[in-house]
């Protein structure tokens, strides 16, 4: 039996768990992370790329932004297209200088893992949390399995940062929360390709064939997505078919899409999932463990890190002031931003995805929104401030 004792036991070495551990260390609060997958797997997992202003500010505060500043790409705006017409939303001008950066989630995960391990942090890869018990007492425990051996982590608090399929949410007593779900009737087929981006900033596009998004990773790597049916398989999508569909959906007069070798293809279903309590006793949930937003708008990783900010505030208040006030308000404070992000992600999803026949009532409402965006600075500001992320002060703390 392996025995570990710490103050905060963290399950999951994704963005939420790693930011939490690194941040707590700044305040002298001890934590240990256990992670189901190998280091290679976690660091290679292709996911998010959009880093909003608050996340950049947090990484700066943690002094973990050096590589992002060097290799990430700052964007001061975004293009929105509808039926081959394109407009630009300038973030800086509409939000008082806030921006986003494009920097792969797995790069953030590498930077956070390196920083944690270099300063002697304890992180157990290929270790599966199997059970969380006694979280209604002052000494909760996480049972785990590592190399076929059973282990137990005794801690003051458990932070379940173990993503959508983890054990944190499943452990919350059923009667302590309500859940809300939407399953969208489409998925995203995402690719990475060795080709220079054909755009200087991201393009979200509605087309009668469905949604398309042109994002990027570097001067030589592009990231693109298209809307596909939920039952689609990547096997039905040859490289030629993907590029042909992307060029149709992203077309506007004068725009040319460069093509290149595709080296990664994957299909992601789209859903919204919410629970209305992120805590039970000494068990706290952060990130995808507690909520899922559809990817349109790039909020998932940013929300995970925003949750952690409130959790750090709560633990610091506890260990420095012996106060449980911020723990008690964790759910209420975090849910304000999470619901805002659910609404924005749902809005962006419905505006740019094909939901009904081209020309239908739903289509005309989508088009009416886009036409209004063209003329209204107020409407553009709404999109800009949500896209770059509202400052923490915008919500009641
Ligand atoms: P995760 O990253 O899922 O980490 C949880 C960790 O817990 C995992 O490493 C998992 O292996 C581990 N774990 C699970 N169960 C156990 C267990 N029993 N024991 C031990 N460990 C366990 N978000 C954005 O902000 N911007 C974007 O541009 C964006 N684009 C996206 C595009 C795609 C295609 C996808 C799929 C997602 C995108 N997201 C985006 C969402 C974002 O990737 C997630 O919201 C983010 O990974 C959440 O971080 P997390 O730390 O909460 O969870
Ligand atoms: C990316 C993903 C998103 O979901 C999004 O809205 C913008 C960018 C990306 O992977 O780059």
Catalytic one among 103, 184, 204, 330? 204
Dump pLDDT digits (tens) for 121-163: 999 999 999 999 999 999 999 999 999 999 999 999 999 999 9
The protein residue whose alpha carbon is closest to atom 11 in ligand 2 is: 49
Q: What is the pLDDT averaged over residues 294-313?
A: 97
DSSP per residue over 283-321, as a string? EEE-GGGT-B--STTS-HHHHHHHHHHHHHHHHHHHHHH
pTM equals 0.96
Dump pLDDT digits (tens) for 234-262: 999 999 999 999 999 999 999 999 999 99
Dump pLDDT digits (tens) for 208-237: 999 999 999 999 999 999 999 999 999 999
Indicate whether residue 216 lines ligand 1 (CB < 6 A). no
Q: Which of 68, 162, 204, 265 to mutate to test the pocket of ligand 1 (most atoms within 8 A of CB)?
A: 162
Q: Is the pLDDT of residue 362 over 80?
A: yes
How far does the centroid of ligand 2 lie from the alpha carbon of residue 317, in Å? 34
295 carries an active-site annotation: yes
Residue 8 makes CB contacts below 8 A (sequence gap 6+) with 20, 24, 29, 30, 31, 155, 156, 157, 158, 159, 315
Catalytic one among 214, 299, 309, 326? 299
269 carries an active-site annotation: no
Query: What is the atom index within ligand 1 of the atom nearest the CA of 303?
Result: 25
* Cα–Cα separations (whole angstroms), residue 45 to 104, 105, 221, 264: 10, 8, 16, 11
What average pLDDT is seen over the chain? Answer: 97
299 carries an active-site annotation: yes
Looking at residue 14, its pLDDT comes to: 98
Query: What is the atom index within ligand 2 of the atom nearest the CA of 215?
Result: 11
**Rg from Cα positions in the chain:** 21
CA geometry: angle 246, 220, 78, nearest 5 deg: 55
Indicate whether residue 42 lines ligand 1 (CB < 6 A). yes
Q: Is the pLDDT of residue 311 over 90?
A: yes
Query: What is the atom index within ligand 2 of the atom nearest the CA of 50?
Result: 8
User: How far, in Å, CA of 187 to CA of 205, rounded?
Assistant: 15
The residue that leads in pLDDT, 213 or 394, is 213
CB count, 10 Å around CB of 325? 10
Query: Which numbered ligand comes closest to the C-alpha of 271?
Result: 1
Give me the residue label for tokens 């173990």. 162
The protein residue whose alpha carbon is closest to atom 38 in ligand 1 is: 48
Looking at residue 397, its pLDDT comes to: 67
Catalytic one among 295, 309, 319, 354? 295
Q: Give every strand in the sheet of 283-285, ordered side by side.
A: 122-124, 31-34, 8-11, 157-160, 283-285, 279-280
Which of 396, 373, 369, 368 is CA-nearest to residue 384? 373
90 carries an active-site annotation: no
Q: Is the pLDDT of residue 94 over 90?
A: yes
Dump pLDDT digits (tens) for 5-38: 999 999 999 999 999 999 999 999 999 999 999 9
Q: Is the pLDDT of residue 318 over 80?
A: yes
Is residue 75 within 8 Å of residue 30, measured between CB atoms?
no
Indicate whether residue 294 lines ligand 1 (CB < 6 A). no
How far does the centroid of ligand 1 lie from the alpha carbon of residue 310, in Å? 18
Looking at residue 348, its pLDDT comes to: 98
User: How far, in Å, CA of 79 to CA of 276, rounded?
Assistant: 34
Is residue 143 within 8 Å of residue 89, measured between CB atoms?
no
Query: What is the atom index within ligand 1 of the atom nearest the CA of 130?
Result: 18
* Cα–Cα separations (whole angstroms), residue 297 to 94, 203, 250: 17, 11, 17
DSSP per residue over 351-379, as a string? HHS--S-TTSHHHHHHHHHHHHHHH-HHH
Looking at residue 396, its pLDDT comes to: 77
Q: How confident is the model at residue 48 (pLDDT cuts 50, 70, 90)?
A: confident
204 carries an active-site annotation: yes
Query: Which numbered ligand comes closest to the C-alpha of 202?
Result: 2
Q: Is the pLDDT of residue 307 over 70?
A: yes
Query: Which numbered ligand comes closest to the C-alpha of 192?
Result: 2
């Amino acid at each position: 039996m392996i025995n570990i004792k710490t103050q905060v036991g963290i399950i999951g070495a994704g963005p939420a768990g790693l930011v939490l551990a690194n941040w707590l260390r700044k305040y002298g609060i001890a934590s240990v992370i256990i992670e189901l997958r190998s280091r290679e797997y976690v660091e290679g997992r292709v996911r998010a790329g959009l880093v909003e202003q608050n996340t950049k500010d947090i990484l700066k505060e943690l002094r973990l932004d050096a590589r992002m500043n060097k290799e990430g790409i700052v964007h001061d705006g975004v293009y929105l297209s509808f039926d081959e017409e394109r407009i630009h939303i300038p973030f800086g001008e509409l939000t008082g200088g806030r921006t986003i950066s494009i920097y792969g989630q797995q790069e953030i995960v590498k930077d956070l893992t390196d920083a944690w391990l270099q300063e002697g942090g304890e992180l157990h890869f290929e270790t599966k949390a199997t059970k969380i018990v006694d979280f209604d007492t002052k000494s909760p425990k996480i049972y785990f399995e590592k190399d076929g051996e059973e282990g137990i982590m005794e801690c003051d608090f458990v932070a379940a940062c173990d993503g959508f399929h983890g054990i944190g949410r499943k452990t919350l007593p059923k009667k302590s929360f309500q859940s809300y779900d939407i399953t969208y009737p489409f998925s995203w087929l995402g690719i990475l390709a060795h080709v220079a981006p054909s755009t200087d900033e991201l393009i979200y596009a509605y087309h009668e064939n469905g949604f398309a998004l042109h994002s990027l990773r570097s001067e030589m790597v592009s990231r693109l997505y298209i809307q596909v049916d939920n039952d689609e398989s990547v096997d039905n999508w040859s490289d030629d078919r993907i590029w042909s569909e992307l060029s149709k959906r992203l077309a506007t007069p004068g725009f040319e899409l460069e093509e290149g070798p595709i080296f990664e293809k994957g299909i992601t279903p789209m859903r919204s999932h919410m629970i209305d309590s992120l805590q039970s006793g000494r068990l706290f949930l952060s990130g995808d463990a507690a909520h899922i937003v559809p990817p349109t708008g790039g909020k998932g990783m940013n929300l995970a890190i925003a949750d952690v900010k409130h959790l750090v505030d709560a633990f610091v208040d506890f260990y420095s002031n012996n106060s449980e006030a911020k723990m008690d308000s964790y759910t209420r404070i975090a849910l304000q931003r999470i619901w805002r992000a659910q609404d924005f992600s749902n809005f962006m999803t419905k505006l740019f995805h094909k939901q009904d026949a081209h020309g239908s009532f739903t289509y005309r409402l989508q088009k009416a929104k886009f036409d209004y965006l063209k003329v209204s600075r107020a409407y553009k500001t709404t999109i800009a401030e949500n896209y770059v992320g509202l400052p923490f002060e915008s919500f009641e703390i």
